[in-house]
Amino acid sequence: MEVSSKPLIDQRPITRLQYATVLICFLMNMLDGMDVMVISYAAPAIAKGWSVSPEALGIVFSSGLVGMTFGALFLTPYADKIGRKAMILVSAAIMGTSIFLTAYSTSVVALIGFRFISGLGIGCMLASTAALAAEYTPDKTRDFWVSFVVSGYPVGAVASGLVAAKVIPQYGWPSIFQLAGVATLMALPLVYFLLSESLEFYLKSQPRQALEKANDILARMGAGQLDTLPAKPVKRQGMPINSVLDGEYKLPTIQLWIALFLAFATLYFLTSWIPKLASNAGLSVELAIYAGTVFNVGAFFGIVTQGYFSSRYGLKRTIGVILILTGVLMAAFQLFIGSTVLLFVFGLLGFGIQGGFVGLYAVAARMYPTEFRTTGVGYSIGIGRLGGIIGPAIGGVLIGMGLSMVANFLIYAIPTVFAGIMTMYISSKKIS
């Protein structure tokens, strides 16, 4: 039998095990999106109840992103040692516990602390699920499936937004954190009993009982059995970051990091501040939450559409065009102020910025080999999240200075366009 699972996965019809893996990864990203967005939905109520300034809220938003960055950079690489499934379980436990405890915060400092801790788990989840989806799906449709898995993120954001719009006005902002925490913790048994570890991980990393576990997966996929494990690939020396910045990976990695940094800055400005900006514009708390929800509805369709067009026309071209057009729409936002199509425009912004930036996850998943794929994806997300930290923080300062939604959108159109341009110039030969 081949030493790699790639021919098996590429040449055979997709099995129930593969579909189950993709769907569970999709679900975990739904919970990821929910846990990221609950603070944005609760922000107007917290600001009103505690008299919190925009600058202080910006620090709360950014503390979660700092945690995500630390998680992606320093925890995610362990997935290449302990396995993707184990890292998903650890991430979900961290997320669920800290999100639930956030409901009992009594100060901004406590909010900052709990957001940082939850960010550690959130930062690992996307990288682990994206890597696992890439390793269980055929080459021809891999970009679509990775994008589909990550599209769970805005679906979770939408679902939590719809719930938040109802429960926060009636029961107060702590209720949405309690619900989100319980939902995340309830997913742990599902992951433990039903999610399969990566076959490539068993064949190449070869942890304990790798042969037995690999043969169990092969049996469930209707494939032949292995008598022995293949020769273990030579392990690269040095720190994990050396792998993604070595030889042929160095230049495309830097290009990918720049594109993600810029896209994250805009994305997290929008996801963090759209409800608050809409509230400042005179919308009720419920309608302000719906503005963020519509943004994430558009994001789901944008991610899936991007995945489809990327499979047909190439990742770099598709993502680049989507991001550039999104920047143009943000620059023209003034044209839609006061219009009946304003909510639709929020949806288009979600379609573009999330559809484009999620495609960069697929770029990372395709660019790096199994031996350090989760490390490569994790570092890419971690570096990108540095932009995500800066984006909401600067947004808080700009809003505190009195800049309008139009002015903020015009400023953030610039990094969005540059992210699209940089994406088109990523030089990896593995990506079209």
275-302 residue pLDDT tens: 766 666 566 666 776 777 788 788 888 9
Q: What is the pLDDT of residue 346?
A: 83
For residue 414, give both structure tokens.
Answer: 């610039």
Q: What is the pLDDT of residue 277?
A: 67
Best CA proximity match to 130, nearest among 155, 152, 157, 98: 152
pLDDT per residue over 241-250, tens digit each?
777 887 788 8
Contact call for residues 157 and 176 (beta carbons, < 8 A): no
User: What average pLDDT score do residues 45-55 get?
Assistant: 86
Residue 408 has pLDDT above 90, yes or no: no
Between residues 40 and 121, which one has the greater pLDDT? 121
> Can you tell me the distance from the alpha carbon of 57 to that of 67, in angstroms, rounded to the nearest whole number?
16
> Can you tell me the distance from the alpha carbon of 427 to that of 432, in angstroms, rounded to the nearest whole number?
9
User: What average pLDDT score do residues 161-175 get?
Assistant: 91
0.85 surpassed by pTM: no
Q: What is the pLDDT of residue 7?
A: 62
Between residues 99 and 128, which one has the greater pLDDT? 99
Q: Which long-range contacts (CB under 8 A, 24 or more apart) does 321-325 make?
A: 321/420, 322/352, 322/355, 322/356, 322/359, 322/420, 323/263, 323/352, 323/353, 323/356, 323/357, 323/416, 323/417, 323/419, 323/420, 323/423, 324/416, 324/417, 324/420, 324/421, 325/352
> Can you tell me the distance from the alpha carbon of 397 to that of 408, in angstroms, rounded to the nearest whole number?
11
Between residues 51 and 422, which one has the greater pLDDT? 422
Among 65-69, 122-126, 255-259, 281-285, the least confident range? 281-285
Among 214-228, 251-265, 282-296, 363-377, the least confident range? 282-296
Residue 132 has pLDDT above 80, yes or no: yes
Q: Which residues fall within 8 angstroms of residue 417, CB to CB, at 6 or more apart?
A: 323, 324, 327, 328
Q: What is the pLDDT of residue 41?
A: 84
At residue 91 the predicted structure's pLDDT band, cuts being 50, 70 and 90, is: very high
User: What average pLDDT score do residues 50-56 get?
Assistant: 84
For residue 292, give the amino acid letter. G
For residue 360, give both structure tokens.
Answer: 């960069």
pLDDT per residue over 172-204, tens digit each?
999 999 999 999 999 999 999 999 998 888 887
Residue 2 has pLDDT above 50, yes or no: no
> Can you tell me the distance from the alpha carbon of 42 to that of 36, in angstroms, rounded to the nearest whole number?
11
Q: What is the mean pLDDT of the chain?
A: 85
pLDDT per residue over 351-399, tens digit each?
999 888 888 988 888 888 877 888 888 888 888 878 877 887 788 788 7
> Can you tell me the distance from the alpha carbon of 27 to that of 25, in angstroms, rounded to the nearest whole number?
5
Percent of the chain with pLDDT over 90: 31
Give the angle 279-283-286 at the CA atoms, nearest 5°.
Answer: 90
The Cβ-side half-sphere exposure at 154, using a 13 Å CA radius, reads 30
> Can you tell me the distance from the alpha carbon of 253 to that of 384, in angstroms, rounded to the nearest whole number?
12
> Can you tell me the distance from the alpha carbon of 350 to that of 340, in angstroms, rounded to the nearest whole number?
18
